[in-house]
């Protein structure tokens, strides 16, 4: 009787897994297969044990345990829904939602210190753009936001404003913690996760797709810094 129940459970588990995979988004299939495969291996191992085939069941159970450890390790370092990529410059913190692609920012210096970009009206944003002339990198980041929110904002700005300002001021040496935050990853993420996050974000912020050279440069810096830790 116990053998029949386990066989039924095994078949039911396989049916449920197949049904889930068919309806699942492609990017989630691999993640779910890791847990589903471990569960099916565990069920099959138990079935073999109770049918007197311990020499086959024990290796399967050990393999299922290893698969589960690996799956939970990947889960701990992979990006969670709702995470954001944050890039800090001297006068501005820019935030990109990794799921929706929406962008927001926080002013860190000047007259509007503490203000969120999404809460500012168009006139205030253009005034902030003029105030950021001293911080070229921050100004570049703001321009990326403006390009997304106000398509014709450049027509309202003096084309000579900020000319001759020289080189962009650096926001300082990037730390490992900042690199993980920029890529939207948890500390300890593996090389594959780092490269995947970098590729995904570059598609959103690359200058060729209407993004920002400053943002792209910070993403590249974050990727290079973290990959050096894996050498």
pLDDT tens for residues 10-62?
A: 566 656 655 655 554 444 445 555 555 666 666 666 665 566 666 565 665 56
**pTM for the full predicted model:** 0.51
H helix or E strand, kind and range, residue 95? strand 92-97
Asked if 116 contacts 104 with a C-beta cutoff of 8 angstroms, the reply is: yes
Q: Where are the domains of the chain?
A: 2-77, 84-228
DSSP type of residue 87? E
Instruction: Give residue for tokens 């691999």.
Output: 30
Polymer length of the chain? 231
pLDDT tens for residues 66-113?
A: 665 655 555 444 445 557 888 888 899 999 887 777 889 999 998 999
CATH 3.30.70.380 fits 84-228, yes or no: no
């Amino acid at each position: 009787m116990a053998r029949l129940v386990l066989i039924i459970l095994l078949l039911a588990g396989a049916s449920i897994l197949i049904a889930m995979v068919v309806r699942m988004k492609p990017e989630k299939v691999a993640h779910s297969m890791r847990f589903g495969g471990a569960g099916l291996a565990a069920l099959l191992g138990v079935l073999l044990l109770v049918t007197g085939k311990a020499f086959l069941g024990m290796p399967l159970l050990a393999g299922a345990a290893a698969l589960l450890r690996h799956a939970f390790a990947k889960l701990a370092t992979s990006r969670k829904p709702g995470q954001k990529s944050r890039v800090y410059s001297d006068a501005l913190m820019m935030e990109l939602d990794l799921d929706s692609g929406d962008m927001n920012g926080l002013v860190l210096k000047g007259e509007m210190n503490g203000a969120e970009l999404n809460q500012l009206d168009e006139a205030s944003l253009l005034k902030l753009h003029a105030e950021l002339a001293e911080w070229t990198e921050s100004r570049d980041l703001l321009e990326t936001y403006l390009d997304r929110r106000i398509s014709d904002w450049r027509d309202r700005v003096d084309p000579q404003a900020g000319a001759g300002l020289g080189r962009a001021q650096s926001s300082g040496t990037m730390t490992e913690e900042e690199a993980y935050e920029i890529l939207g990853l948890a500390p300890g993420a593996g090389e594959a996760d780092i490269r995947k996050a970098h590729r995904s974000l570059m598609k959103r912020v690359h200058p060729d797709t209407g993004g920002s050279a400053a943002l792209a440069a910070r993403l590249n810096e974050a990727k290079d810094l973290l990959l050096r830790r894996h050498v």
